[in-house]
Chain A
Amino acid sequence: MSDVTSDTALAAAKSAKVETPFQRFRAEFFESKIATVALGVFLIIVLLAILAPWITPQNPYDLAQVSVMDGRLPPGSEAFDGYTMWLGSDGSGRDLYSAILYGLRISLTVGLASGVIALLIGMAIGLIAAYAGGRIEAFIMRIVDLQLSFPASLVALMMVAALGKGVDKIILALVIAQWAYYARTVRATALVERGKEYVEAAQCLGISRSRVVFRHILPNCMAPLIVVGTVQTASAISLEATLSFLGVGLPQTEPSIGVLIANGFEYMLSGRYWISVFPGVALLLTVVSINLVGDHLRDVLNPRLRK
């Protein structure tokens, strides 16, 4: 009897070759065409942003290359220096194609950096809250509640007003505005995981507290964290654009996407749509592609929706 069952179990295990959870996740992710395309679009955007200095005709930060003579040219016009401005130029004569790619560099840097930092901080705080319990947990979670009762844009706005302009300050402001989302997510999942038997089993094996938290509980909290991470990164990018649009984000000399949109806003009614619309489209594509990837990650990582 023993041999029969072990043989069939062995055969079953052999036919389903040993695949890691990551391999299974990858296979399931690429089943969705929309998510695959969205990921492709996002990667192209990232690539364009990284390669900006080599594939754009103009460095929009170098004032020597920017000529007011080229200001407000419609898409397809020829610049004074001889290249074609396929997306037109803005009020100060910046080639929009170049400005958008350079702007994307800033937007993506700010979004990803603040996303990762907020994730690490929020994760640590959420884990501490879940594992410590009691007063420490109550204290941390009330701060989280307090922070989440204000809109993120308001928190970010106040922070920027207090900190001043600049990429580092924007990142700091966005981290402060967003860590609470991660903390709440991690704490909720960690509480669920902590109640599971494998944690009890690990304790019964005499495994140390920190190892249980970081090796056993944390990896099991990753799925919701990744999903929240993508969504929050997208919202950090649009939040940065909002702040810059309102004139409290990045300075005019370092135009991020939000600054470009704001610059073109005053020309909208005079028919010079391109100055705002093209940066707007770039922002839209970035945020939507990240959100689509995030949505699909949620479906793939959610065990209840798993096939």
Chain B
Amino acid sequence: MSAVLEVSGLKTHFFTHAGVVKAVDGVDFTVSKGEVMGLVGESGSGKSITGFSILGLIDQPGRIVEGSIKFNGDEIANAPEKKLKTLRGNRISMIFQDPMMTLNPVLRVDTQMIEAILAHEKVSKQTAWERSRDALGLVGIPSPEERLQAYPHQLSGGMRQRVAIATAFLNKPDLIIADEPTTALDVTIQAQIIHEAQKLTKQTGTAMIWITHDLAVVAGLAERISVMYAGRIVEQGGIDDVIDRPLHPYTVGLLGSVPTANRRGKRLFQIEGMTPNMLALPKGCAFGPRCHARSEACNQQPPVENIDRRSLRCFNPQPAAKVVK
């Protein structure tokens, strides 16, 4: 499989008055054609910033300070705005968390979808309209002709997210970055949306980065998973390897915090402490102070190691750790 996106050593830092926030601090991953990669982590771990870095939409005072982002073999980190504009919405699309907020409330659905096509292609309005209609049909929206005439407030949350997904797929992109697209939806709708997204990536061969904090979603959807903590990917590998046999204490903790039915009444596992202040990261491994397996060595930054079919940043892997399920 050919790599659609190769990110290596990506560092996106924000230069604030209070100091430098290393939101993304050395991230490497590769996404192949038709592959879904789950990017998992707590709030503030830098997963969304990674997504925005790929699109070149980092606002001041932030910027990509180091690393390379290769899209179809082409370097796009810090590429000129003109080049990025031809990619955005065309070759790389984005789906956002809150479908209430991402559709313009005063414009009809057809206006917004047609606009997305016309921004990149010189086709007639009629053609663009037909493609929008077909795209809505593909994501399971009944009577798309009518929905096209609707304003966003006339659609339900699930409908709106389907519209957003249809818009993202309009120009048949090579890569879609989905930033917590199901977080604002209830579980039944969530399942439908995931199903539609999965179907579409299979049909079109579009690669996808699915950013989420919900391990259950990733487990059901992604082929590979990257777990982020404080701007770094701490564990990365095939979905079955990582979910069934996590090695990093943080991944173990995350999996343990998911409530399941056959553990009712027992106390949930809890990762001690809070996510660290990004302005004052602990020395060495950022997870160190919260880690139950920490040792002397953890005062140094753990290097990336390739063991057990995954890459890992930890001195004390937890092969024996049993995730309570």
Contact = CB atoms under 8 A, between A and B. Distances in A.
A binds B: yes
Interface of A: 1-2, 5-7, 9-10, 12-13, 16, 18, 20-21, 196-198, 200-208, 211, 215-216, 219-220, 222
B92 to A, nearest CB: 8
A197 B115 contact: no
Contacts of A219: 104, 106-107
B103 to A, nearest CB: 6
A204 B88 contact: yes
Given A1-B188, A204-B55, A10 B104 contact: no
B105 A220 contact: yes
Interface string B215-252: 00000000000000000000000000000000000000
B140 to A, nearest CB: 6
B150 A204 contact: no
Interface of B: 55, 57, 85-90, 93-94, 96, 98, 101-107, 115-116, 119-120, 140-143, 146-147, 149-151, 154-156, 158-159, 164, 167, 188-189, 191-192, 195
A206 B86 contact: yes
B192 A2 contact: yes
A21 B105 CA distance: 9
A211 B104 CA distance: 13
A203 B106 CA distance: 17
Given A5-B192, A201-B164, A208-B85, 17 more contacts: A1-B188, A7-B142, A9-B159, A13-B154, A18-B154, A196-B101, A197-B98, A197-B101, A197-B102, A198-B102, A198-B104, A200-B96, A204-B57, A215-B107, A216-B104, A219-B106, A222-B106
Contacts of B195: 2
A206 B88 CA distance: 5
A205 B167 contact: yes
Contacts of A222: 106
A296 to B, nearest CB: 20
B21 to A, nearest CB: 19
Contacts of B150: 13, 18
B119 A207 contact: yes
Contacts of A1: 188, 191-192
A13 B155 CA distance: 7
B102 A18 contact: no
B89 A204 contact: yes
Contacts of B107: 215-216, 219
B116 A21 contact: no
B41 to A, nearest CB: 20
A220 B167 CA distance: 21
B189 A5 contact: yes
Contacts of A203: 57, 88
A13 B90 contact: no
Nearest to B106: A219
Contacts of B106: 21, 219-220, 222
A207 B89 contact: yes
A5 B188 contact: yes
A205 B101 contact: no
Q: Which of A197, A198, A203 counts the most chain B CB atoms within 10 A? A: A198
Contacts of A18: 146, 149-151, 154
Nearest to B59: A200
27 contacts: A5-B158, A5-B188, A12-B156, A13-B147, A16-B154, A18-B150, A18-B151, A20-B151, A21-B151, A197-B98, A198-B102, A198-B103, A198-B104, A198-B105, A201-B102, A203-B88, A204-B57, A205-B88, A205-B167, A206-B88, A206-B120, A216-B104, A216-B107, A219-B104, A219-B107, A220-B104, A222-B106
A222 B98 CA distance: 24
B118 to A, nearest CB: 9
Nearest to A217: B104
When A and B form their complex, which 5 residue pairs have the shortest distance between CB atoms, in order from nearest? A205-B89, A206-B89, A206-B88, A197-B101, A201-B102
Nearest to A16: B154
